[in-house]
Chains A and B, each alone.
Chain A
Amino acid sequence: MSGAVASGLAPSRTVLSNGLVVLAKQATITPAVTINLAVRAGSVGDPDGVPGTAYFLSRVIDRGTAGRSADEIADALDRRGISLAIHVTRHLLTMACTCLAEDFEAVLALVGEMVMAPAFPAREVDTRRGEIVTAIRQDEDNPAVVAMEGLMGLLYPDGHPYGRPGKGTLDAVARIGPAELAAFHRAWFAPGRTSLAVVGDVAPARAAEVAARVFADWRGEARADVPLVSPAPAATRRRVVVPMMNKAQADIAYGYTTIARTDPAYDAYWVMNNVLGQYALGGRLGESIREKQGMAYYVFSAFDPNAVAGPLVIRAGVNPANVERAVASIDREVEAMAAAGATPKEVADSTRFLIGSLPRTLETAGGIATFLQMAEYFGLGLDYDVRLPDRLRAVTVEQVHEAARRSLGADRATVVIAGPYQDPLSEPRA
C-alpha cells in the first residue's frame, strides 16, 4: 500500500506487509541520507515500579545483536563517520543517524538488526548501568533538572507515567538486567508499532524497497498502547523549594497541564504559548523579566504536544536574590494573559512567525524526518505541511484568549524552585 500527495513536502508513505510504515522524501542539498526510525516504545511503557526501563534499553539496544558483537557494530558505525542517536520520549524510542548516500543500504540493515534482534549482552548492560547511575547523580546536582522533574511529579502525580523520571531511579536501575530489557523489547517492539523515515539523497521508491528487504522477516503482534488518562488540572497553587546551596543560580519551573495534541484547540494553544513565552526571545515573559528587568539570561515557556494533556512549562534561571521578584513577574504575565488574552497584533505576529518558520524547519533532512515522524505519530496526514499555514491563519484572537483562560492562572500554578535559595514557608516536597 502506498500513498503520496501532490504539493508541498509530498512524502511517500508505504505500509509493509508486516505493518511497518515507511515515510520517504528525496532531498539533495548534500549527498547524505537521514534515517529516523521511531518505535512506540517510550517511557510510558516502563513497568510499574521500574521507571527508566525504556531509557536503559535505549542505551544498550545498539550494543550487540544476534549476529554482531558490540565491537563489530561500533566499527561499522565509526568507519562510516556515523553517530547513531537514540532518544526516548514519553511515547517514542527514536534511532536517528545521517550517513553518506553510498552507505544507506548497509546502515539501514544495521539499524534494522538492532531494532529486531538486540542481544543485551550482560557485560554491556553492566557497563551502561554504571553510566546511567552517573547520569542520575549528575541530574541530582543540576538545579534545572531538579526543578523540572519536581514540577512534572506534581503535575502528574500518583504514578502517572508523565510524572516519572525518564532515566529512572538508582533503585530501579539496579534492578534492570538483560531479562527485564528483553521483556520490554518483546512487549513493545513490533513492526506495527514502528515507522521509518528516510530523507535525503535517495529515491523514495528505493528507500521503500530497501526497507521492505531489511524488515521482511520481522513479525510480532502490535499490542495496544498503555491506557492513559489526563490528570485533573490543579485547583490550587502549589509551591516547592529545593535548596541546593552549592549552586550560583536558582532555576524556576512553573507550569500547568493543558490539552492533548489531538484537541481541536491545539493550534490556539500553540499561538498563545508563542505570544506568552517564545516570540522574539521569550515573548511577554522575556520582555518583562529579561529585557526590562534584566533578571534572567533565560526565560521562556514551552508547550509540549502529547497523547494526553501535556504540560505548559515556564522556565527561568535567576540570581537567588531575584527569585521572588521573578515568580511575581511570571504571576503577573499569566494573570494578564488569562484576563485579557493576546492583542490582535501579537496574534498576527506569532502566526506569521509560526507559518514563516516552516521552510527553515523543513530545510534539512533531519528537520524533515522529525516533522514526518511527528505527523505520523499524531495522525496529522501526509499533507500536514500544506494545511498547516491555513490552520494557523484560522486561529482567532478569541480562541487564543480562551486557551489562556482555560489553562493559566496564578492561583492554579504549580511552582518548583531549585537552587541556592531557602524558603521556610514552603510545603514539604512531594
Chain B
Amino acid sequence: MSVEVPQFPGFRMTTLGNGLKVIVREVHTAPLASVWCWYKVGSKDERPGLTGVSHWVEHMNFRGTTNIPRDQVKGIIEQFGGSWNGYTWIDQTTYLETATRDALDRMLFIEAERMGSCLYDPGDCEAERTIIISELQGGENDPDQLLDQEVTATAFKAHPYRHPTIGWLTDLQSMSRDDLYGYYRRYYVPNNATLVIVGDVDAGEAVRRADQAFGAIPPGDLPARPRLVEPEQLGERRVTIRKEGTTAYFKAAFHAPAVTDADFFPMLVLDAVLSGAKGMNIWSSFRTPPPQRSARLYRALVERGLASAVNAALLPTEHPFLYVVSATVNEGASLDAVEAATLAELDAVRARGIDADELAKAKSQLRARLVFENDSVTNIAHQIGYFETIAGVDLYHELPARVAAVTADEVADVAARYLQPSTRTLGWFEPLAGGGDAR
C-alpha cells in the first residue's frame, strides 16, 4: 500500500514485503539526496548490565560488512563528496548519508549492508570498547554534562530513560562481543526500521530502488519494547556534585509529557516563554542558540548578572522524559541565588500563567524555527524519520498547526501541573578549589 499526502507533492510512504517502511519526499532545490535508516531501538531498550549496548552497536555498524571491508566503510560515500553519520539516543538509532543524487544506489547499498551483514570482528569490538570509554571520559571532562547525567539518573527511579545513552562505565568494561552481536541481530530487521529518502529523486523510482536494495533481507520477530511507566514523583529530589573546577552549574528537571501527549505543545510554548523557542529538530536546531533575550529566565538570571547562560530543553520523546532548565553560574554569584531566582520564575508562571503578548511572541518564534530547521534535504529527512520512529510521520506534518492552536489557558494549565515543587529534581555542581589552577 502506498500513501501520498496532497499538501506535499512528491511525498510517498510505502511498506515493502519484508515490513521495511519507506518514506520518500521529492525536494528539487539542489542536486542532492539524503538517505536515513531509522531503527526502533535506543537506550531505553537496554536491560541493567547492558547499558550503552545500543550506542556501541551503532559504532560497530561502521566497522565493515560482508561486502564492504572495514577500511572502506567510511570512505565509500566520501568518494562521492558525501557526508555520513549516525546517532543513538533514548528512543532510536539512525544512520545517514547525504551526497549527490547519482550516489543514491550507493547509499541504499550501504544501509542494506548495515541492516543485514555487519561482521562484528572480535578485534574491532575491543577497539570500539576503548573508543567509547574515551568518548565517555571526554564527556566527563565537562561538568555540565556530568551534572546532566546525575540529574537524569536521580529524576527517574524506574524508567530506563534514567541511564545515559553512552552507558555506565562498568557495563562498557564487561560487555562481550556476543552481547553486541545478539542485540544487533534482534533489532536490525527490516520490520523494525524506516528508510527515508529526501532530495532530487523521483519518488516512485526511489521506492523501486529501495526494494531492490532491501527486498531480500528477511523480516524478524519484532522485539517487545519497554512499556514501563515511571511512578509519580512524590517529593523534591536533589543531587550535588562537589569536584575540582572553576565554575558552578545548576539544573532543575521536571517530568515532561511525551510528544504524543496533548500537553506537549502547550509545554513547548511555555518553554519558549521561559527560555526562547528551540524548534523541534534535535539534529540541527540546538546548534543555533534560541531567540531568548526577552525570555523570562534569561531576564531573571543573565540580565541580573547571576548566570552567564541559561537554557532549557523540552525534547520530543516517545515516553514522558524531562523538561530541564540549566544555568551556568556567574563568577562571584552563588548557586543559592541562581536556584532561588529560577524557582521564583517557575513559581510565578505556575501561579499566573502567561499573557497574550507572550503567547503571540512564542508562537511566532516557533513558526520561524519550524521554517529554519527544514533548510536542507538532510534536515527534512531527519525530521520525517525522527517523527515516524517515535510518533508517526503525520505529527511532523501537523507541527505548525499544533503550535498555532495552543491557547494561553492551556499553557497556564501545563505550567501549574508540570512545574510542581514535589516533582522536581534539582542539581548542583559545586566547584572545589583546584580546577584550572594549572594556569
Contact = CB atoms under 8 A, between A and B. Distances in A.
A317 interface: yes
Contact of B246 (A131, A137, A292, A364): A137
Given A135-B308, A318-B134, A358-B81, A30 B141 contact: no
A75 B100 contact: no
Contact of B330 (A131, A140, A366): A131
A380 interface: no
B376 A364 contact: yes
Contacts of A236: none
Contacts of A418: 438
B304 to A, nearest CB: 8
B314 interface: no
Which 7 residue pairs across A and B have the least CB separation, nearest first?
A356-B81, A81-B368, A74-B293, A294-B127, A140-B436, A246-B244, A280-B74
B27 A75 contact: no
Interface string A47-80: 0000000000000000000000011011101111
B137 interface: yes
25 contacts: A29-B375, A74-B294, A75-B293, A77-B293, A79-B365, A80-B365, A81-B369, A131-B330, A134-B308, A142-B141, A146-B439, A242-B439, A248-B138, A291-B70, A294-B129, A294-B130, A353-B81, A354-B81, A359-B81, A360-B32, A360-B98, A362-B30, A363-B377, A366-B375, A419-B141
Given A141-B435, A359-B81, A363-B376, A291 B141 contact: no
Contacts of A298: 138
A149 B128 CA distance: 30
B233 interface: no
Interface centre among B138, B277, B368 (most CB of A within 10 A): B138
A77 B291 contact: yes
Contact of B79 (A244, A287, A349): A349
A333 B291 CA distance: 45
A134 B29 CA distance: 43
Nearest to B30: A363
B438 A137 contact: no
Contacts of B291: 77-78, 80-83
Given A74-B294, A138-B247, A319-B130, A279 B367 contact: no
Interface centre among B31, B98, B245, B436 (most CB of A within 10 A): B436
B374 interface: yes
B116 interface: no
Contacts of B243: 246
Contacts, number: 217
B82 A249 contact: no
Interface centre among A134, A317, A349 (most CB of B within 10 A): A134
B78 interface: yes
B122 interface: no
A100 B368 contact: yes
A297 B376 CA distance: 28
Contacts of B247: 134, 137-138, 141
A315 to B, nearest CB: 12
A98 B290 CA distance: 12
A22 interface: no
Interface residues of B, number: 78
Given A71-B294, A74-B294, A356-B100, A249 B134 contact: yes
A247 interface: yes
A279 B435 CA distance: 36
Contacts of A141: 143, 245-247, 431, 435-436
B328 A134 contact: yes
A134 B308 CA distance: 7
Interface string A238-250: 0000111111110
Interface residues of A, number: 78
A362 B31 CA distance: 11
A355 interface: yes
Interface string B410-438: 00000000000000000000010011101
B295 interface: yes
Contact of A364 (B79, B141, B143, B375): B375
Nearest to A81: B368
A331 to B, nearest CB: 20
Contacts of B205: none
A343 interface: no
A192 to B, nearest CB: 30
B134 A81 contact: no
Nearest to B99: A356
B368 A85 contact: no
Interface in A288-329: 290-298, 317-319
A3 interface: no
Contacts of A44: none
Given A28-B29, A349-B79, A82 B368 contact: yes
Interface string B343-354: 000000000000
Contacts of B283: none
B287 to A, nearest CB: 10
A366 B378 CA distance: 14
Contacts of A126: 305
A142 B371 CA distance: 35
A29 B29 contact: yes
Given A82-B368, A280-B78, A143 B289 contact: no
A357 B81 contact: yes
Interface in B126-145: 126-135, 137-138, 140-143
Contacts of B131: 290, 294-297
Given A83-B291, A131-B302, A141-B435, A29 B376 contact: yes
Contact of B294 (A78, A249, A291, A292): A78
B130 A349 contact: no
